[in-house]
């Protein structure tokens, strides 16, 4: 049922029922394995649905001062708040430590510069480790890419500081849907750093593990994590982002214009560069999804008459994708793009001054509530 005060398109619609389907799987993995799951705010930080997420997760993990503060303030004082950054500045570290329950430093330089401040505030300290191997299909997202700055890799240099840390974070997966690949990678990590783990209290294995897939062997993953935890006597942490919110939101748009230039073209009132930036970065296509009963446009195999759906910005490559549809798009049609939760709202921007999508929450009864709208004043305030 649509609220009478619904904003015009474009808007992000977060579906609580779909969100909880993922979170139930996350919680089951934690219950079976003893691992703790922290929401990766770099992926999803729409705090208007945190109350729905809290029962399933143990806290949040961050990549900046702003994120760690948001995690502490909005996810609750009774949850864990982990702080990590590629590099903290001296003018922000004190504030970071007021919100953090654990802080993970990216390098020896950062560790040496700030560990005393952390220890003075009784905040446990960790170090990021880079195993120099990964499960990632994209070089831009590969933590172990050549000359990576993400973590320390030399065990002989880590050993002298092991008594200064209580745990380590290892993030080397990106959309990895293979349990076998994950397990082999973890074995490689154990072979390289296992002797250190016996001296630690916790190990975070990061995110990027797509264990919510219907055919993923969740029990095998749980057993692997539990065995790891018991072998080294450590608390295992996972940092799911996409696994928490996969297919939990859609970007709802309206067709503003149609053209023909070798193929049918349509222009919608949103933009991938402004509203689904990862499509541009990774050269991916947005999945089309049903929007209640308002459209029957469905993706299928592309044909010579496939429709290319463009965003409305001036970027020539502002393309949501190319689709074979069961009927032509018309001006005024509603089009919804799926999987629009992760790395979307946290990356949205004001390129071209294109209208910022509102954020709408669909509860488990199907009722829609407008959580946030944006106006010219927000655009103007983002500049000076």
Phi-psi region of 262 (alpha: psi -120 to 50; beta: other; left: phi over 0): left
Segments of the chain assigned E as strands: 11-15, 36-40, 59-61, 80-84, 102-105, 125-128, 167-169, 202-204, 235-238, 249-260, 264-268, 288-289, 307-310, 319-323, 334-337, 358-362, 368-372
Residues 207, 43 contacting (CB under 8 angstroms): yes
Residues 327, 249 contacting (CB under 8 angstroms): no
Angle between helices 218-232 and 16-33 (to 10 degrees): 40
- What pLDDT shows up at residue 292? 55
Residues 186, 228 contacting (CB under 8 angstroms): yes
Looking at domain 249-340+348-381, its CATH superfamily turns out to be: Lyase, Ornithine Decarboxylase; Chain A, domain 1 (2.40.37.10)
Residues 6+ apart with CB under 8 A from 51: none
CATH of domain 34-245: 3.20.20.10
- Dump the DSSP string for 238-290: E--SHHHHTT-EEEEEEEEEEEESSSEEEEES--HHHH-HHHHHTT-PPPEE-
Map residue 61 onto helix, strand or coil: strand
Could you read off the pLDDT of 34-90 as tens digits, one per residue? 999 999 999 999 999 999 999 999 999 999 999 999 999 999 879 999 999 999 999
Q: Which secondary structure element, helix H or strand E, spans residue 110, and what is its range? A: helix 108-120
**What's the predicted TM-score (pTM) here?**
0.94
Q: What tens-digit pLDDT sequence spans the chain (384 residues)?
A: 444 467 899 999 999 999 999 999 999 999 999 999 999 999 999 999 999 999 999 999 999 999 999 999 999 879 999 999 999 999 999 999 999 999 999 999 999 999 999 999 999 999 999 999 999 889 999 999 999 999 999 999 999 999 999 999 999 999 999 999 999 999 999 999 999 999 999 999 999 999 999 999 999 999 999 999 999 999 999 999 999 999 999 999 999 999 999 999 999 999 999 999 999 999 999 999 986 544 444 444 567 789 999 999 999 999 999 999 989 999 999 999 999 999 999 999 999 999 999 999 999 999 999 999 999 999 999 999
Domain ranges within the chain, ordered by starting residue: 34-245, 249-340+348-381
């Amino acid at each position: 049922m649509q609220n009478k005060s619904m904003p015009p398109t474009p808007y992000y619609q977060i579906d609580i029922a779909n969100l909880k389907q993922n979170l139930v799987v996350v919680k089951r993995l934690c219950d079976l394995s003893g691992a703790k799951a922290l929401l990766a705010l770099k992926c999803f930080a729409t705090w208007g649905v945190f109350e729905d997420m809290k029962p399933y997760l143990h806290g949040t993990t961050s990549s900046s001062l702003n994120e760690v503060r948001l995690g502490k303030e909005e996810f609750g004082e009774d949850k864990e708040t982990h702080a990590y950054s590629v590099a903290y500045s001296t003018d922000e570290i004190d504030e970071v430590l007021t919100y953090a329950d654990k802080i993970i430093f990216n390098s020896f330089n950062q560790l040496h510069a700030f560990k005393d401040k952390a220890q003075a505030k009784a905040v446990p300290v960790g170090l990021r480790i880079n195993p120099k191997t990964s499960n990632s299909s994209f070089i831009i997202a590969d933590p172990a890419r050549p000359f990576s700055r993400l973590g320390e890799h030399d065990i002989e240099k880590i050993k002298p500081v092991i008594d200064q840390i209580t745990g380590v974070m290892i993030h080397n997966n990106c959309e990895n849907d293979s349990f076998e690949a994950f397990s082999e990678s973890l074995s490689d990590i154990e072979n390289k750093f296992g002797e250190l783990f016996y001296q630690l209290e916790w190990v975070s294995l990061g995110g990027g593990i797509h264990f919510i897939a219907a055919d993923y062997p969740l029990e095998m993953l749980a057993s692997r994590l539990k065995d790891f935890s018991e072998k080294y006597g450590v608390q295992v942490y996972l940092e799911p982002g996409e696994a928490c919110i996969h297919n939990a939101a859609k970007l709802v748009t309206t067709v503003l214009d149609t053209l023909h230039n070798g193929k049918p073209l349509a222009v919608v009132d949103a933009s991938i560069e402004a509203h689904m930036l990862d499509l541009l970065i990774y050269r991916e296509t947005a999945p089309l999804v049903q929007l209640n009963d308002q459209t029957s446009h469905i993706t299928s195999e592309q044909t010579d008459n496939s429709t290319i759906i463009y965003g409305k910005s001036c970027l020539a490559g502002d393309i949501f994708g190319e689709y074979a549809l069961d009927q032509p798009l018309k001006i005024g049609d509603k089009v919804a793009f799926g999987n629009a939760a992760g790395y979307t709202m946290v990356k949205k921007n004001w390129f071209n001054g294109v209208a910022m999508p509102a954020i709408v929450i669909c509860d488990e009864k199907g009722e829609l509530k407008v959580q946030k709208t944006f106006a010219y004043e927000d655009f103007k305030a983002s500049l000076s």
